[in-house]
Every structure is written in C-alpha cells, then in structure tokens.
Amino acid sequence: MKNALIALLLLPLSLLAAEPSNSFLSGVYADGLGVYRIHKSAHDSEFGAGIELGYSLNKNVGIGLRNVGYKTPDDFGGLLVDESSLVVHTRIFSSENEKIWLGINASGTRDWNGDDWALGGGPSLQINLSKHFHIGAAAEVRSFIKGRWDLMVPVSLGGSF
C-alpha cells in the first residue's frame, strides 16, 4: 500500500517527462497531493494522499478530478480512493511575473466510505517553480449532506504541459 501511494505522488512528474509543444495536452495538469483532513474534533483528523488530474480552461480557470485515500491512526481505509472531487480553481490575483498566485477553489465531493456528498470551497496559493512545475496549498471547508463538516488542507506538487 505504501508503494502505491508513493507511485501516486510521483505520477505527475513522470507524466511531464516529455514536453509537448502546442499539442492536445496543452493545458493538462497533474498534481500529487498530501492531504490533512480536520473534523470537528482534532482526534478524528486524518492524513491522506492522492492525485488530481485536470485541465486549464484559460489563464484564470481550471477544472480537475481529485481522488484521495486517507490513513487513520489504525491503518488505511478499506478503499484505495476514499473520496473523489470535482474541483474548480479560479485565480483572483497573481504577482507581476506570475510566479505566485492566489485563488479560490470550489468543489463537489463524493465520500465513498461514508456514502455522502459535500460542497466546499476556500482559498488557494500556487507558487510556480518553472514554466511547467508548481507547488501549492489550499484550505477547503466542506459541508456534507448528512450534516457533518470538515476542513481539508491539500498540499500539492505537480506540473502542466
């Protein structure tokens, strides 16, 4: 299981090994994620790992599919993917050289273990290390249909074509 998570985190970098120019892959991005999920009580918090694959619709808006598996203090959950989310990223401010940008994320999430749905959103930060590689962090407050809520903090390392 540990090797599978390492492979998931390294997948974005391997996808970007070949740099196509002006191809159908232009605008595609892949992020490896480390995630910390905080529930109402800190005792119920969980660490996770995942991957997000997406497409930049334009300079300021992107849409992605994020899959995350969580580790509880006992062990990993019964599924490799505990949650799947459709995420919309919007950039609202960027530095003059566009190395740093701030944005807002909105997400719709399916919790496969809890058989529940959620809507969420919050601020995000991305630092562009080069033309094709970046690191980022976000904080999303999510409200589930069954009445619970949590705070999800994904940290990403990824790249784009």
Establish if 18 belongs to a structural domain.
no
| Residue 86 resides in a domain | yes
Residues 6 or more apart whose CB falls under 8 angstroms from that of 72 comprise 46
Q: Is residue 140 part of a domain?
A: yes
What predicted TM-score, i.e. pTM, was given to this entire model? 0.80
Question: Residue 108: which domain range?
Answer: 2-13+27-160
pLDDT in tens, 57-102: 998 999 999 999 987 655 555 567 889 999 999 999 999 888 999 9
Domain contains 20 = no
State the total domains in the chain.
1
- Domain assignment present for residue 19? The answer is no
Look up the CATH number of the domain holding residue 44: 2.40.160.20
Is residue 22 in a domain?
Answer: no
Q: How far is it, in rounded angstroms, from Cα 125 to Cα 102?
A: 5
The answer to whether residue 111 is domain-embedded is yes
Q: What is the pLDDT of residues 99-121, one digit of tens each?
A: 999 999 999 999 988 899 999 99
